[in-house]
Structure 1
């Protein structure tokens, strides 16, 4: 098994940092002792000189120089020189030693409060959460130093260096970052070469691709290369028309199922998000063997935490349009992806969430904005209610509840030309229920569809999954309909499928011109399955 130190030394080699500028201390000995012959140790007698030499080296070579500093005293002595490096636009990768993390909570001798010690002068500061994250953090520091032209700091506890790391898992940082700027140029050339060599490419899209220019560019690209398109898991917005024949669905959030979906592909082009967004942790590799990953995003942070072979900092629309012109066309017919119809409930049977989604899908106009906050039934909503226009789907990027209800009012207020429908669980709605008062007060004509089962269904299922008994009670006595009315928002209680269809047939045709919100409190049966 490789150690963190060995993996880090490989990162230094890969980034071309073959000199280590340092004034050593005890918290750095485990890293510095027995350096391989291909790495040169350069000693200076004070930390100001250490950083000064590295700054000159970086200016001369045009590449980041590597600096190793002793914990509080070393970093403190170097602050003035680090400030000079920042103003001189000298890229530095600075690793600062820290006491053994196994007893840091006791604040032992030489433990340092290091984050913030150098003030605003570093372009990036990080102490990895786990020892195994250290090599990726140092590679990211290299990219941050290049991008922002200054010192990037990584704090490493002294015991981290001997920790084991599995190289097969890869690093949560891209191997290479290209900056396309206004002219895609060499970055588009490189990705076009990868696409032309790929036998079975796949495209993954995210919220950063949710605009008309990027949708149009992606449609042209995937039609030219014949690739399927997947939406990122837990995406806050749709990055591709989900009624397009090449749209394959939403990626699963667990590693084993993600590998199964991507198995057989040899290149994944990820646009407008990182690689890859997940929720439950699972051991094992992130992607299948043999898959090259390239990420294109205008957000450098998305690039830097991606496990990718190539990352491109670029406007996704302009870059994908240029890429389409350069890549060779392939004659690949789109598959037939029919959605299985949902049978209505039999007389006397309760409504399920899928019945609500199906009824909405059959009635809502193409330009509707659907705001989602229904964690336990999100996969069914994605499957049955596709986004057909940019900004046609909006959800909470962070996953915290309470966003959907007020956000829907704001969306309608910001663009009254588009109808807005918010589909919320009753538990979710209660985190933002007071937003109904504002929606009514300011004439936001949103249709709020509340799926009411009187419980936190998603939490109940997660408790079942870990084999434990949920300590929280149901809240079936909470009257969402009554709360809405008390807050000045018109509301109706829906208890049967026929009532649902009648209400939607009446309300949906009015959505474009409504200036009054309406809440439908729909009693639904709790779903019995969920896979994030």
Structure 2
């Protein structure tokens, strides 16, 4: 006799079992862009779940990434078969580099026609998103989906956190399933006491310690403990290259600035120090080839990180694999300041930028810094002005700043929407400021539509220099003459206020310096989303 494929009051459907599991996990929001193979998932959609629509799959994953980072829980993303996963791959890569926990589901054609290579089927579906997901599965039976999803969630949340992938045939949702029993899986990694004691011994003996504080400190809510540790040891604090979060308040007197992604430059910046402690970051991320030592001669390095791979490939020093909150607290308990320690270095105060037409990026950012509110959150994707942002727009510490760790464009504009949605749901004060370059914004400009539909308290600031400035600025490294612009790096004639208005977000263009402060003041006081196109030199 054929197997029974209908659910009954005593045996729920796969759909009902999945919804029950998601409620257990505190997930009631689905980020998606719907397709035909996903329609069975959403039939009789429950009232206690919300569907957040993105107009393109990269936008969907970016929104979910921001939402997951802000809530510190995995977010659920639904994509459309192979094409949708392909559209989303850039931001899946970024989520992997950001260590963001995502449950990525993708529709698959019905099992009964998969042998016939049907339209919209995803051939080798689980291979498509690799290697940028931690785990991928297409369950052998529809009834296996709830348990597969539970396993995927726990893998996504295990350090180092990251995206996972589940391919779901369209006819699985109405199959009979089984409820997943509630269970707790601890995600914290405790440090080895002897390894912490060894780091504490070297830290105590150091005369000129430096801390390099990365995104893992913010992810694990260890910022206050790192501040306490730095103050105890009079450590000079730096931010590692390509850091996606703020792990140390940048107005703190011991903050020394940002390390460049170049080996020789890092060694030069860290030259005054005899001991370097890297917290929550790789040691180190490079962007170009380099030569020579990885740390200053005579200096020692130690690292606490939650990613075993980062610990394994670190070229020098000792590594401890641990959750950053537990690792730093253990180090606080084990360490004491040594005698005769020199005062920490600090970052010099930058010069006050002068207004001009067009405005300099430095001037625009100094005005943004004056006008923003203390609780506002900055989400950045403006690579060509990042060093200027780092100089003139200091971040306040925990959960004040987000960007992409991957270098892939198209993440931060939708991520800002996800962060704003999460903060609104958690009733957190402040506005989200999406600080986006003109070139970067065009990778995921459809995020404006989602912001308008959700009526989120956020402001998009377009730093408009009418070019791919990062490429032009970087070209001399690859042998270009100083004034030789690479092909395809000019962006004239784009009207961002019209792009915003067409998606329901009011926009203004600011070209004169005297107009910027009042426009920002009004935008930051608004209840819903808005956009300002800031023309800079």
TM score, norm. by length of structure 1? 0.61
Give SS of 1:199's match.
coil
Whole-angstrom distance in 1 between the partners of 2:489 and 2:397: 40
Pick the structure with greater CA Rg. Answer: 1
Question: 1:336-415 counterparts in 2 under 5 A?
Answer: 337-346=347-356, 349-415=357-423
TM-fit CA distance, 1:364: 1.5
Residues 404 and 422, structure 1, Cα contact 8 Å, conserved in 2: yes
The answer to whether the 8 Å contact 2:189/2:326 transfers is no
Matched residue, 1:444: 456
Question: What residue in structure 1 maps to residue 211 of structure 2?
Answer: 203
**1:192-251 deviation digits (Å, cap 9, x = unpaired):** 111123232211011101157411111111111111010111101111111111111011
Matches within 5 A, 1:5-404: 181-182=189-190, 184-211=192-219, 213-330=221-338, 332-335=342-345, 337-346=347-356, 349-404=357-412
Report what 2:475 is aligned to.
463
Match of residue 512, structure 2, among 479, 496, 499: 496
Q: Aligned partners of 1:364, 1:209: CA distance in 2, in Å?
A: 24
Instruction: Please list every run of at least 4 consecutive aligned residues from structure 1 whose deviation after the TM superposition is greater than 6 angstroms.
Output: none
SS at match of 1:415: helix
Deviation at 1:181, TM superposition (A): 4.7
Distance 2:443 2:404 in 1: 13
SS at match of 1:463: helix
Question: Cα offset for 1:185?
Answer: 1.9
* CA distance in 2: counterparts of 1:332 and 1:423, whole angstroms: 38
8 Å CA contact retained: 2:413, 2:445: yes
The CA distance in 1 between the partners of 2:476 and 2:500, in whole Å, is 32
CA distance, structure 2, for counterparts of residue 217 and residue 445 of structure 1: 31
Q: 1:431 aligns with which of 443, 452, 460?
A: 443
Residues 473 and 274 of structure 1, relative CA distance in 2, 3 Å threshold: closer
Q: Which moved more, 1:458-467 or 1:430-439?
A: 458-467
Q: 2:533 aligns with which of 489, 497, 521?
A: 521
Q: Is the 8 A contact 1:225 1:332 kept in 2?
A: no
Give the distance between the partners of 2:283 and 2:220, measured in 1 at CA.
23
How far apart are the structure 2 equivalents of 1:343 and 1:371? 23
Deviation at 1:464, TM superposition (A): 3.8
In structure 1, the partner of 2:140 is: none
Inter-partner Cα distance in structure 2 for 1:217 and 1:450: 35
CA distance in 2, matches of 1:248, 1:389: 14
> CA 1:204–1:473 in structure 2 vs 1: closer, same or farther (change >3 Å)?
closer
CA contact (8 A) 1:268 1:291 kept: yes
Q: Deviations over 1:273-293 (max 9, x none)?
A: 110112122222222222211
Structure 2: gaps (5+ residues): 1-126, 128-133, 135-187
Where does structure 1 lack aligned partners over 5 or more consecutive residues?
Answer: 1-115, 117-122, 124-179, 526-532
TM-superposed CA distance for 1:184, in Å, is 4.8
Alignment CA distance shift 1:303-1:385 (3 Å): same
CA RMSD of aligned residues (A): 2.2
Segment drifting more, 417-426 vs 209-218: 209-218
Please give the alpha-carbon distance, in whole angstroms, between the structure 2 residues aligned to 1:336 and 1:228. 7
CA contact (8 A) 1:212 1:390 kept: no
Secondary structure in structure 2 of the residue aligned to 1:370: strand
> Are the aligned partners of 1:454 and 1:475 in contact in 2 as well (CA < 8 Å)?
yes
After superposition, the Cα gap between the structure-2 partners of 1:473 and 1:366, relative to the gap in structure 1 and judged at 3 Å, is: closer
SS in 2 for 1:451: strand
2:501 to 480, 485, 490: 485
Which one is further off, 367-376 or 318-327?
318-327
- Find the aligned partners of 1:278 and 1:211 in 2 and give their Cα distance: 22
SS at match of 1:210: helix
How many residue pairs were aligned?
A: 343
How far apart in 2 are the matches of 1:438 and 1:509?
20
Q: Tell me the distance in 2 between the aligned counterparts of 1:407 and 1:253.
A: 24
